[in-house]
Structure 1
């Protein structure tokens, strides 16, 4: 039982470090309103930056859903920026 508890505590500590690494600005990306290529490039850039920061914690059951949610949040934000008029 202690071994299981140790693993759980390690996962929580790793999750805390992962969440700390995802705080603040993830990566600067440019979006040109109305330009789908720039929107897609920005989405790919932000997802790659999120993956890079979270890579050491991949497979952690606490981190993976948060990474997925972060990607979706940023994707939606970038798509919205791409719809804005200049």
Structure 2
């Protein structure tokens, strides 16, 4: 019979990841910014990063959640920058 060690730790990380994902489902919030003001755009990115950090809480060190959170931050950063560029081209406000 084979004994595989570490399954408990993996199962715990998977459980934590599932709970965090469920808590994030549509609950991060929103940010507003002035598309013509780089400082406002950076503040919106920082606010979104804080929302993600707050949502994952103490689970950031989880080997599944940590990288997922970083990827989410990058995706939101890119989305905010793209939205700001679109609004500047249209000459409007992102709201």
- Above 0.5 in TM-score? yes
- The alignment yields a C-alpha RMSD, in angstroms, of 1.5
Aligned equivalent of 2:69: 67
TM-score, structure 1 normalization: 0.89
Cα separation, 1, equivalents of 2:9 and 2:51: 27
- Greater shift, 3-12 or 31-40, is seen at 3-12
After TM superposition, what 4+ stretches of structure 1 lie above 3 angstroms from structure 2? none
- Tell me if structure 2 keeps the 8 A contact 1:35–1:82: no
How many residue pairs get aligned? The number is 86
1:9 is the counterpart of 2:33: no
Q: Could you list the per-position Cα deviations for residues 19-39 of structure 1 after superposition, in whole angstroms to 9, with x for gaps in the alignment?
A: 112211412210211111110
Cα separation, 2, equivalents of 1:22 and 1:69: 14
- Greater shift, 20-29 or 58-67, is seen at 20-29
Could you tell me how far 1:15 is from its partner in structure 2? 0.7
Q: Choose between structure 1 and 2 for higher RCO, CA contacts under 8 A separated by at least 6 residues.
A: 1
1:56 is the counterpart of 2:50: no
TM-score, structure 2 normalization: 0.81
The unaligned stretches of length 5 or more in structure 1 are none
Q: Which has the larger radius of gyration?
A: 2
